[in-house]
Amino acid sequence: MSKVLITGGAGFIGNHLTEKLLNKGEEVFVIDNLSTGTIENIARFKKNKNFHFVKDTILNKKKLESLVKKCDKIFHLAAAVGVKTIMDKPLESFMNNMKGTENILELAHKYKTPVLFTSTSEVYGKNDKLPFKEEDDRVYGSVYSDRWGYALSKGSDEFVALAYFKEKKLPITIVRLFNVIGPRQTGVYGMVVPKFIKQALSGKDIPVHGNGKQTRCFGDVDDITDALIKLIDSKKSRGKIFNLGSDKEISINDLAKKIKEIIGSKSKTVFVSYAKVYGDNFEDMKRRKPSLSQIKKEIGYKPKVKLEESLKRIIQHETQK
């Protein structure tokens, strides 16, 4: 039985990963400051003797070290969550990402512990060469746009992580996540799917930012967590970066339409300007689609859960709450 540390384990992806690892018989240690994660997400693990929760921040290096030194592997998920958080708290988002990851890498190196670090598709910025490949250029906007601070911090984390691999031989794998969805995800921080579903279930207007023609690829959390576990256990993956998600594009307009159709909702789609929601300096990407060839080659990854099935799972979860 392995001992596993998950930073941000009370968050959306973290609690699904925790559940999967506990079901495999692993001993799981979670550290989360509950800034975006919730106790409700991990309450069902409370009676499991293999589950341990510490409410604290990864900026508390002393507490973090007490966890790292007893674990065999680390999933580093803790980070700012959602566009709204990034825009509302740019300084906190940037510093937490940078300093927190620095602490993880330093301690993992000290105890020679393998790390899987979750980065983001945001690092590709305004690059319009699709599908995105891991070695592609990053194209960012003005420093006056808070949106790019998050992308820059995660990109910097990637550089530091790879430097630890090259210079100090730290076994680390980097994963760029693309729009992960599933039950227990909140729409509070700007996540589009739970927000649309909540509005459609209540019959309220569904707010679409911009003209709704922007596209995204939505991957199910079940597929994602399976892949994360395979990657951290793959020694060949170390020192590499992998896109992870779905490569099936859908426009935000069509997403709203699909959700309304599944629910049978009479909600209206209303268009809201980006400026009204995020301020004048906000920039969005028209399309975001990953190449999955590298992760497919590495672990045979292929998304199993189709978007409609994933949406139905989320809707069912919401209606049973």
Least-confidence region, from 10-24, 39-53, 84-98: 84-98
pLDDT at 277: 73
Please say if the pLDDT value at position 163 is more than 70: yes
Looking at residue 169, its pLDDT comes to 98
Q: What angle do CA 305, 176, 246 make, to 5 degrees?
A: 25
pLDDT given at position 149: 83
At 146, is the pLDDT very low, low, confident or very high (cuts 50, 70, 90)? confident
Give me the amino acid identity at 175: V
Mean pLDDT of 204-229: 97
Predicted local distance difference test score (pLDDT) of residue 244: 98
Cis peptide before 131 (omega within 30 of 0): yes
Mean pLDDT, rounded, for 159-186: 97
pLDDT tens for each residue of 261-306 = 999 999 999 999 977 777 777 778 899 999 999 999 999 999 999 9
- What percent of the chain is modeled with pLDDT above 90? 82
pLDDT at 271: 96
- 52: nearest Cα among 4, 116, 12: 4
What per-residue confidence (pLDDT) applies to 218? 98
- CA 210, CA 268: separation in Å to the nearest integer? 15
Query: Which is more confidently placed, 188 or 260?
Result: 260
Q: Give the pLDDT score at 275.
A: 75
pLDDT at 164 over 90: yes
- Of 1.10.10.10, 3.40.50.300, 3.30.70.240, 3.40.50.720, the CATH number of 3-182+218-248+287-304 is 3.40.50.720
The two structure tokens encoding residue 132? 């995105």
Higher pLDDT, 105 or 36: 105
To 5 degrees, how large is the angle CA 18–CA 24–CA 28?
A: 40
Instruction: Classify each residue of 166-176 as buried b or exposed e, where b means 16 or more C-beta atoms within 10 Å of its C-beta.
Output: eeeebbbbbbb
Q: What is the pTM of this model?
A: 0.95
Predicted confidence (pLDDT) per residue in 25-34, tens digit: 999 999 999 9
Helix (H, G, I), strand (E, B) or coil at 260: helix
Determine the residue type at 194.
Answer: P
pLDDT exceeds cutoff 80 at 82: no
- Using the predicted structure, report yes or no on whether residue 122 has a pLDDT greater than 70: yes
CB of 203 closer than 8 Å to CB of 244: no
User: For position 195, what pLDDT does the model report?
Assistant: 96
Q: Across the chain, what does the average pLDDT equal?
A: 94
Half-sphere exposure of 60 (CA within 13 A, CB side): 12
Active site residues: 150
Residue 306: the pLDDT is: 98
Q: What is the rounded average pLDDT of the residues 154-167?
A: 97
Contacts of 69 by beta carbon, 8 Å cutoff, 6+ apart? 107, 111
